[in-house]
Amino acid sequence: MSSWAGKLWSLYHFDSECRPLYKVPMTAGFASAVTKCHTRMKEEFADKKRYITTKPFLVVSSRGDDVLTSSETFAKADIIGPSRTEVDLQHNGHDIFLSQDADDTTMAIDCVKVWLKHQGWGGA
């Protein structure tokens, strides 16, 4: 069991008869498709400085992430577009909306709400 799988297992109730205690790897096909997509995005950006979007978007990362560092996440966002807002949370997990501490998850949701409101997407 990986530390991430253990954390997920400890946070939520799973029926022990239907939830394995071991980490199930992703398929080779999925990993290959993601890698091809990332490679093509990098090539498009490097060759033509073509962004995926010029519209505003939000990038939320966490220093507590056990998969990607915040700097890796923000550097990869360069390919998506220039009009971004970056939020670097301190203690959330890889999935910032599935953090061990409920207050950390609430903070992530609140950050998104404030950003959406600032962008004119209602009084969420």
pTM: 0.64
Rg value, the chain, Cα = 17
Average the pLDDT over 77-100 and give the result. 85
Query: In DSSP terms, which residues pair with 89 in a beta bridge?
Result: 62
Does 105 score more than 60 pLDDT? yes
d(CA 65, CA 60): 11
Helix H, strand E, coil C: the string for 1-67 is: CCHHHHHHHHHCCCCCCCCCCCCCCCCHHHHHHHHHHHHHHHHHHHHHCCCCCCCCEEEEEECCCCC
Domain boundaries, the chain: 1-50, 52-124
Instruction: Provide mean pLDDT across the span 82-106.
Output: 85
Highest averaged pLDDT of the listed ranges 7-11, 21-25, 118-122: 118-122
The pLDDT tens digits of the residues spanning 13-68 come to 666 666 555 555 667 788 888 889 888 888 888 877 778 888 999 998 888 776 77
The encoded tokens of residue 17 equal: 């008869």
